[in-house]
Amino acid sequence: MTDTSSNRLDRLSPRLDATPSPIMGRSSKTGSKFAVEVDVAGLSWPSKGTVQRRNESDEAKDERMRKIANAVQTIIECVGEDPEREGMQNTPLRYAKALMFFTKGYEQSLKDLLNGAVFEEDTDEMVIVKDIDIFSLCEHHLVPFHGKVSIGYIPRGRVLGLSKLARIAEMFSRRLQVQERLTKQIATAIQEVLQPEGVAVTIEASHMCMVMRGVEKPGSSTVTSCMLGIFRDSQRTRDEFLTLTRK
């Protein structure tokens, strides 16, 4: 059976009851709009609670914040601190707000970020945006990892606003992640939106779970890559990308 874009996305995304929500592109020549189907729910590989978090009322948001703050207060007590002392009194709520910001990518989708930023252009030269800063939380220990992502693609009639490449990286990094999946999600999303000749993504990051605990190796970094299309098939194209993004 042919492995279509729809089939690949079905495997990557849980089934959700949501209305299809296409991203809209625009022709640079005629100004006419066209739909860019990415995933059936328009939610970009949602997690189990994504729809609930996106759609909940202000009262439900406040309740979610209270639940996180209460859990943090319990953690503070369990590590042996006094949650009532002056410096700690507002820490549970501060952390709850910070955690919701760190994971704001769950409330975003490609439609939110890209609508109107896909353009028809007659170009087939490599496009690269490199050294995009990313910050994420390791899903295994809930501690940060941070680094830089470089993204390249070779257009096939469609290009994406340059800042949107950084926004895609930001959206997926602002979730509980592992670096391997983050790399592939960024690449696959761009491939699905633009249908280019190929996409290349590399990430180099430092993980606090290796620096602050465990093997405790400051200065170590983890490098991951995802090569799709011509970047996977052609060593020459792949080498050009790696050379241009090398520091």
Active site residues: 138-141, 179, 207, 209
Q: What is the 3-state secondary structure (H, E, C) of the chain?
A: CCCCHHHHHHHHCCCCCCCCCCEEEEECCCCCEEEECCCCCCCCCCCCCHHHHHHCCHHHHHHHHHHHHHHHHHHHHHCCCCCCCHHHCCHHHHHHHHHHHHCHHHHCCHHHHHCCCEEECCCCCCEEEEEEEEEEEECCCCCEEEEEEEEEEECCCEEECHHHHHHHHHHHHCCEECHHHHHHHHHHHHHHHHCCCEEEEEEEEEEHHHHCCCCCCCCCCEEEEEEEEHHHHCHHHHHHHHHHHCC
Q: Which of 188, 153, 154 is nearest to 168 (CA)?
A: 188
